[in-house]
Amino acid sequence: RVRPMNEREARTDAQPAVTADGAGRTVTLARDVVSTGRGAHFAFDHVFCPRSTQREVFDATLAPLIGEVIKGFEATIFAYGQTGTGKTHTMEGDLSVPADRGVIPRAVDALFTQLASGDIDEYEVVCSYLEIYNEDLADLLYSGSAPPRLSLQENPEGVKCAGLSEVRVTGSEALLQLMTWASERRRIGST
């Protein structure tokens, strides 16, 4: 995803570092176009342009997985990239504006909508929020004074984070409140 320009970038007439072609599913480095007259092109399964909506990104990526999660399969969405490239914009978005919510709040709403449909008699939703920052692990839902030492461990069920908090939630608003609280605890800076 190539995120839209933020307010500061728009105010200063900043030029994008890349251009995106959603139909052609390619991203081109803009600096290469300037220096060589042709850009380095990279092809992807999906490319979302700056004008792509949060709904479009969700519908193409995470929405198809919600039914599989309801069936008991695990699903992960992972954002990786340099500071300022749009990870938070895509994952969280603006929680106060429904149209601008990212893929996580949309997945939460879709999950609880399906759970409320009455097709499932018993369920439990448990939330964790793990931050990986410069190779350090942080439990963003931990509320005590001395955070636990976390470690990633592989076992027959998969990779687990030993010591990570788990909080049971009963609805999308409760989970989004937890997400807001945890987001305020994130570390932000150069990576």
pLDDT tens digits for range 137-150 = 999 999 888 888 89
Q: CA 188, CA 179: separation in Å to the nearest integer?
A: 16
Tens digits of per-residue pLDDT, 54-85? 999 999 999 999 999 998 888 888 888 777 78
Decide which of 118 and 32 is more confident. 118
In which element (H, E) is residue 111 found?
helix 103-115
pTM above 0.85, yes or no: no
pLDDT at 30: 78
For the segment 5-30, the average pLDDT, to the nearest whole number, is 87
At 105, the amino acid letter reads: P
Q: CA 59, CA 53: separation in Å to the nearest integer?
A: 10
- Residue labelled with tokens 């996580």: 104
At 189, the amino acid letter reads: G
pLDDT at 145: 85
- Tokens representing residue 78 in the block: 């992972």
Rounded mean pLDDT of the chain?
A: 87
The residues with which 160 forms a beta bridge, in sequence order, are 153
Instruction: pLDDT band for 41, please (50, 70, 90 cuts).
Output: confident
pLDDT at 188: 64
pLDDT at 35: 62
